[in-house]
Amino acid sequence: MSFIGLHFGNTSTSIAVTKGDGKVDVIASPDGERAIPSALSYVGTDEYHGGQALAQLIRNPQNTIINFRDFAGVSFDKAVLPEIVNSAKAINVDGKVGYEIEEDGKTTKITVDEVIKRHFQQIKAAAEDYIGNKVEGVVLTTPTNFSDEQKKALKSATKEAGLNVLQFINEPSAALLAHLTANNKLEEDRIYVVADFGGVRSDAAVITARGGIFTILATEHNFELGGDQLDAALSEFFAKEFEKKYKANPRKTQRSLAKLKSECITTKKTLSNVQSSTISIDSLSDGFDFHSSINRLRYEVVARDIFSKMAAFVEETVRKAGLETLDIDEVLLVGGTSNTPRLASNVQFIFPESTVVVSPALDSKALDPSELICRGAALQAALIESYDEDEINQSLQPVVVNLEHIAKPIGLKNADGEFIQIISRETAYPIKRSLTFDTPGDVLIELYEGERTIEESTVEPEEGEEEYSDEEPEVLKKVVYVPGQLLAQIPFKGETANGKLEVIVRITVDGLLQATVRSGDKVERVDVHST
Amino acid sequence: MSLTLPALPSSVSTAASLGKYTAAVRKPIEPVGRHFLALYLWGHTWSEFEKIQAETDVKKAEDVNEDAEFDIEQSEELIEHDPRDWKSADLYAVLGLNNYRYKATEDQIRRAYRVQVLKHHPDKMGEKGGLDKDGFFKIIQKAHETLMDPVKRQQFDSVDEEANIEPPAPKSKYDFFEAWGPLFASEGRFSKKQPVPELGNADTPKEEVDAFYKFFSNLDSWRTFEFLDEDVPDDTSNRYHKRMIEKKNKAARQKRKTEDNKRLSELVRRAANEDPRLKAFRDKEKEEKNKKKQEREAEAAKAAEEVKAKREAVERARAEAAKARAKSKAKPSYQPIQTQSKGKGKGKGKGKGKKSTVSKEQRTESKINIRNSVKDANYFGTELQSEIDHDINVFLDNFEDEKSVEVSNAIAGATADAVKEIFDAAAKEYIEQGFITADDLKFFAK
Ligand SMILES: Nc1ncnc2c1ncn2[C@@H]1O[C@H](COP(=O)(O)OP(=O)(O)OP(=O)(O)O)[C@@H](O)[C@H]1O
Ligand SMILES: [Mg+2]
């Protein structure tokens, strides 16, 4: 029996499993797809799944179901249906979102629950085929804005497909877990933005990592931004070119549109890897074949507005968290669209140089952004597989997860008057942190709350850059914490044991801050309360 | 940054707490990863108290920003409001929904309620030293109960004066659209038919403006006044008294409803009166009517003029002809038509002795027009170019200048058929008057 991690997106689904050595494998479908299109299509008695189903959008769109994930657990009345549909149209089936399809010669109406069940049956089969073992438990990821009802609907549909959801986890947290585990950086206190650009939506979250504990500070969602917009822009570009050449309109029929879109997706993905791509479509419209090519630069111009919106979307999320881009240590780009080099550079552009943007376009060692989420889910699945369901549910109780977080960092003042941080802002307690100093003795330990300031420095133009000297000197900004509110004073008199002195800061469950100074058997403790 | 601690000054001798750290915020952590699992296993024994504590007052990232907007401070007066008299309190302000009112969605009401409960829960107020504040908490609950029930909410919305927008003071100077647009948007909330048309702006076309006033003049309102009812005692002891209050309430409701309908129709009437667009439409209509009238008059005058001119011309011609005949009695009754020497022929048979009112330019132009007209008419689709050109020369030799101009004007822009008709008519006229004979012409008037 195996446990897997699943990322179930509107556009694609990916499966991962943690092996004995702790390494994570992303599972390919029998067709070799690692990002398996979340699509089902019905032709006669046959059910097509994944890429094969997607291909049916050209011949058989009315029996091909795509983009259904977000409808899980949402009543038809509340569902936001897309304006343009090039696949089976969402209809009201028993008050839920559903579809009318022709299956085995008969017209049937199926709810989105049924669609999800069938999709997961296929996913389960693909996973079992690959692992060679029965799969029963899954950790399933959802966007942060998924409601309890939506998760309930997902859980029961998954169960019908023979898979038991052990735990739901948030997509951005899963992605961050995978990234930090792979790079062995879990324990560093940092502030991350996890920006997920998918097919039909974009999601972003500001997440703090504090000693391996994640807290989401803010989230942002946009349901009109994603890879689909890029496909549409590219399709329109080529449609215009075709029109000019042949005086024929390729947007007239759904079929030629679908053909164009499908090829544009391929072209778009190719341009993420190489500088130029050809496109060729037999009999696109009015009997004309279409052969053309495009280079990356041209594509980036065609889709410029969309890339700008994506960068602005990331910036807005930071703002929502009450932070500035200066406060962000790292931006993790997630989702299929994050493979796009231009997106990575646009995002890098809005952050200071000190902020690391993680994307394969900027660092070839970065994990594939399409796989980060399922990898994190697989890691979590391996962690909890030895617990029974009750224990897992207990760990999700409010008393476990709803914790008090300190608002400002806590630390000491050094001999130069600077702030030395011991506990970062936004750290959840109970917590204990300590710092050891090499000092002979007779020192004053002053505990402070850190106050955020911005330090500006101008960069002197380097040698050989004289020609630009009439430009404004570049101003570099940096967030620097300085001693703010004094919390406690502890004098240490006499010699330290082995020349070492330890300062321990602990905050108990009740919010009592205990500052302890210790050297050998000499111990001094002061309690600090909160406002 | 150096990890060197400051030296101990002589002034500090004892350890002490000197300040408080900023209050913490409760938020969910993400239940993922081994560090979380360790934390969970490590803190496994929580007390019941902590369990309850952990569920309240949690700031979740998903709704942090949305809920902040409901966090509006209530006025001292509202907080002190007598809970027994909750019906007269501003229930939207109670929930911090001041900015939404009848527009608030059910979800917003639910979330706003949660925000207020957290803020005003009697336990919490006691903690902050604001004892005895559970009166307001009762009002919060009443507000929630009322606004979540569609029927009760409609009753409250009917009397929510705060959502009403006052019309501009009469005779004051104001921007029509700024003043009345929001007013009608707000009045429109009472319409059974939704959505309601908008007032629009200065550029709204007439049909839409008319439709707007028609809609509001006939607005079918759901506004009711139950909320202002006097409470009916629920003890059955005095049935007569009860009946009386019920009767009084019913009458009051009816009266208020009638007053409200009157109020609205007066508003509509006033707005229509002061609507600059309606005035502009009326002015334009008047202007158009005037213009049409003037045009009609001008046309009639012109027609009369033409008739007069024609009559005069004919009379003149007759007189000339008679004079000419008398003058050359010995001569044959007609002059051979000269076609070669146009210059010389000029004036022959024309109103000799009478000074032409036509300028030289006009004359030349009209002649060119006449000459070109047959070419432009493609010689009327015939092969008879030389015949037609011949006739034209006959005409040009015999037309008075006035006639040339008249014909030239008539044929300007006319169809080929019309041109032929004009020449035919002119030919007939001249034959009739004896200036030329039918034999002089080879094509026209045949
Ligand atoms: N190499 C690539 N370069 C550019 N775009 C890509 C690449 N690979 C996939 N995409 C695009 O990424 C999008 C799908 O991303 P992803 O699989 O993360 O979406 P999802 O999470 O399944 O769907 P959603 O987030 O919309 O619910 C599609 O638009 C796809 O065309
Ligand atoms: Mg996604």
Residue B211 is part of which domain span? 176-274
Distance between CA atoms of residues A15 and A120, nearest Å? 11
Which of A391-395, A476-480, B230-234 has the highest mean predicted lDDT (pLDDT)?
A476-480
Write the CATH number of the domain with boundaries A183-224+308-369: 3.30.420.40
* B1, B19, B40 member nearest A414 (Cβ): B1
**Assessment of whether the complete model's pTM goes beyond 0.80:** no
Nearest residue (CA) to ligand 1, atom 8: A336
In three-state secondary structure terms, A289 is: strand
Distance between CA atoms of residues B254 and A266, nearest Å? 70
Neighbours of A100 (CB within 10 A): 15
- Number of helical (H) and strand (E) elements in chain B, helices listed first: 18, 2
Q: What is the DSSP string of A180-208?
A: HHHTT-TTS-EEEEEEEE-SS-EEEEEEE
Distance between CA atoms of residues A204 and A334, nearest Å? 9
Chain A and chain B share a number of CB contacts under 8 A equal to 222
Residue B288 lies in a domain: no
Q: Pull the structure tokens for residue A288.
A: 């004309």
Residues of chain A in contact with residue B61, where contact means CB-CB under 8 angstroms, are 144, 205, 216-219
Nearest residue (CA) to ligand 1, atom 3: A269
In three-state secondary structure terms, A124 is: helix
B146 plus B185 within the same structural domain: no
For chain A, what are the domain ranges? 2-162+374-399, 183-224+308-369, 227-304, 410-530
What is the rounded average pLDDT for all residues in chain B?
Answer: 83
Q: Which atom of ligand 1 is nearest to the CA of A8?
A: 22
CA of A29 to the centre of ligand 2 (A): 19
Do the strands A441-459 and A410-413 form a parallel or antiparallel pair, or are they unpaired? antiparallel
What does DSSP assign to residue A231? H
Residues of chain A in contact with residue B50, where contact means CB-CB under 8 angstroms, are 399, 509
The per-residue pLDDT for range B292-349, each reduced to its tens digit, is 999 999 999 999 999 899 888 888 988 888 888 777 654 444 444 444 444 433 444 4
Residue B5 lies in a domain: no
- Let me know how long chain B is: 446
Distance between CA atoms of residues A202 and A210, nearest Å? 26
Q: Please, which residues 240-299 of chain A have a Cβ atom closer than 8 Å to chain B?
A: none
Neighbours of B398 (CB within 10 A): 23
Q: Please, which residues 379-408 of chain A have a Cβ atom closer than 8 Å to chain B?
A: 379-380, 383-384, 395-408
Check whether A509 has a pLDDT greater than 60.
yes
The per-residue pLDDT for range A34-69, each reduced to its tens digit, is 999 999 999 999 999 999 999 999 999 999 999 999
Q: Out of B274, B308, B328, pick the residue that ends a domain.
A: B274
Find where tokens 């309102």 sit: B221
Residues of chain A in contact with residue B24, where contact means CB-CB under 8 angstroms, are 404-407, 429, 511, 530
Q: What is the pLDDT at residue B353?
A: 43
> Under a CB-based contact definition with an 8 Å cutoff, are residues B389 and B375 in contact?
no
Q: Pull the structure tokens for residue A415.
A: 């001999």
Q: What is the pLDDT at residue B339?
A: 44
Among A76-80, A117-121, A159-163, A182-186, which is the least confidently predicted range? A76-80
B152 plus B222 within the same structural domain: no
Check whether B130 has a pLDDT greater than 90.
no
Q: Pull the structure tokens for residue B431.
A: 């034959």
Beta bridge partners of A454: A479
Q: Out of B95, B123, B158, pick the residue that ends a domain.
A: B158
- H-helix or E-strand spanning residue B365: helix B360-376
Check whether A471 has a pLDDT greater than 80.
no
Check whether B351 has a pLDDT greater than 90.
no
**Chain A nearest C-alpha distance from B443 (Å):** 54
Neighbours of B262 (CB within 10 A): 10
CATH 3.30.420.40 fits A2-162+374-399, yes or no: yes
Q: What is the pLDDT at residue B335?
A: 47
A430: cis peptide before it, omega within 30°?
yes
Which CATH number do you get for residue B150?
A: 1.10.287.110
Question: Angle at Cα B429 formed by Cα B425 and Cα B433, nearest 5°?
Answer: 170
Find where tokens 């859980």 sit: A155
Distance between CA atoms of residues A431 and A446, nearest Å? 20
Q: What is the pLDDT at residue A425?
A: 96
> Under a CB-based contact definition with an 8 Å cutoff, are residues B230 and B249 in contact?
yes
CA of A266 to the centre of ligand 2 (A): 19
Q: Please, which residues 320-339 of chain A have a Cβ atom closer than 8 Å to chain B?
A: 320
B197 plus B129 within the same structural domain: no
> Under a CB-based contact definition with an 8 Å cutoff, are residues A168 and A151 in contact?
yes
CA of A11 to the centre of ligand 1 (A): 7
CA of A371 to the centre of ligand 2 (A): 11
A130 touches B: beta carbon within 8 Å: no
Quick one: which of B29, B15, B159 has its CA closest to B91? Answer: B159
Q: Pull the structure tokens for residue A139.
A: 């950790």
Distance between CA atoms of residues A189 and B114, nearest Å? 33
Q: What is the pLDDT at residue B347?
A: 41
| CA A250 to chain centroid | 36
What is the rounded average pLDDT for all residues in chain A?
Answer: 93
The per-residue pLDDT for range B176-221, each reduced to its tens digit, is 999 999 999 999 999 999 889 999 999 999 999 999 999 999 999 9
* pLDDT (mean) for B5-23: 91
Distance between CA atoms of residues A341 and A35, nearest Å? 19
* B40, B51, B61 member nearest A218 (Cβ): B61
> Under a CB-based contact definition with an 8 Å cutoff, are residues A351 and A311 in contact?
no
Check whether A32 has a pLDDT greater than 60.
yes
Q: Classify domain A410-530 at the CATH topology level.
A: Substrate Binding Domain Of DNAk; Chain A, domain 1 (2.60.34)
> Under a CB-based contact definition with an 8 Å cutoff, are residues B63 and B110 in contact?
no
In three-state secondary structure terms, B421 is: helix
**Chain A nearest C-alpha distance from B63 (Å):** 9
Q: How far apart are the first and last CA of chain B?
A: 119
B398 confidence band (pLDDT: 50, 70, 90): confident
Distance between CA atoms of residues B199 and B181, nearest Å? 5
Distance between CA atoms of residues B271 and A35, nearest Å? 62
In three-state secondary structure terms, A382 is: helix
Domain A2-162+374-399 and domain A183-224+308-369, same fold? Reply is yes
Q: Which residue of A337, A340, A343, A373 sits with most ligand 1 atoms within 8 Å of its CB, as the best mutation to test the pocket?
A: A337
Quick one: which of B403, B431, B442, B428 has its CA closest to B333? Answer: B431
Q: What is the DSSP string of B268-337?
A: HHHHHHH-HHHHHHHHHHHHHHHHHHHHHHHHHHHHHHHHHHHHHHHHHHHHHHHHHHHHTSSS-SSPPP
Q: Name the closest residue on chain A to residue B28, using Cα atoms.
A: A402
User: Are the beta carbons of A527 and B17 separated by less than 8 Å?
Assistant: yes
CA of A372 to the centre of ligand 1 (A): 12
B73: left (phi over 0), alpha (psi -120 to 50) or beta: beta
Residue B347 lies in a domain: no
- H-helix or E-strand spanning residue A187: none
Q: What is the pLDDT at residue A441?
A: 82
Q: What is the pLDDT at residue B1?
A: 75
Neighbours of A441 (CB within 10 A): 15
Check whether A115 has a pLDDT greater than 90.
yes
Check whether B437 has a pLDDT greater than 90.
no
Residues 6+ away with beta carbon under 8 Å from A400: A394, B31, B39, B40, B43, B46, B54
Q: Which atom of ligand 1 is nearest to the CA of A265?
A: 31
Phi first, then psi, for residue A516 (nearest 5°) are -120, 135
B142 plus B231 within the same structural domain: no
Among A446-455, B4-13, B51-60, B81-90, which is the least confidently predicted range? B51-60
Quick one: which of B62, B119, B207, B213 has its CA closest to A170? Answer: B62
The pocket around ligand 1, CB under 6 angstroms, is made up of A 9-12, 35, 69, 198-201, 226-228, 265, 268-269, 272, 335-337, 339-340, 370
Q: Please, which residues 29-88 of chain A have a Cβ atom closer than 8 Å to chain B?
A: none
Identity of the residue numbered B89: A
B44 plus B110 within the same structural domain: no
Distance between CA atoms of residues A129 and A123, nearest Å? 10
- H-helix or E-strand spanning residue A357: strand A356-358
Distance between CA atoms of residues B313 and B290, nearest Å? 34
> Under a CB-based contact definition with an 8 Å cutoff, are residues A17 and A133 in contact?
no
Q: What is the pLDDT at residue B343?
A: 40
Identify the sign of the CA torsion A473, A474, A475, A478: negative
Q: Pull the structure tokens for residue A265.
A: 């997706």
Find where tokens 């995002």 sit: A347
Do the strands A190-197 and A330-334 form a parallel or antiparallel pair, or are they unpaired? parallel
The domain tally of chain B equals 4
Pick the CATH number of A227-304 from 3.10.129.10, 3.90.640.10, 3.90.76.10, 2.60.40.420: 3.90.640.10
* pLDDT (mean) for A367-395: 92
Q: Is the ipTM of this complex over 0.90?
A: yes
Residue B337 lies in a domain: no
> Under a CB-based contact definition with an 8 Å cutoff, are residues A526 and B15 in contact?
yes
CA of A201 to the centre of ligand 1 (A): 10
Q: What is the pLDDT at residue A189?
A: 95
Distances (CA, A) of A319 to A199, A209, A314, B26, B242: 24, 18, 9, 20, 60
Q: What is the pLDDT at residue B349?
A: 42
Q: Name the closest residue on chain A to residue B57, using Cα atoms.
A: A402
B94 plus B44 within the same structural domain: no
Phi first, then psi, for residue B98 (nearest 5°) are -50, -35
Ligand nearest to the CA of residue A70, numbered in listed order: 1
Identity of the residue numbered B405: V
Among A78-87, A111-120, A228-237, B418-427, which is the least confidently predicted range? A78-87
Distance between CA atoms of residues A302 and A230, nearest Å? 9
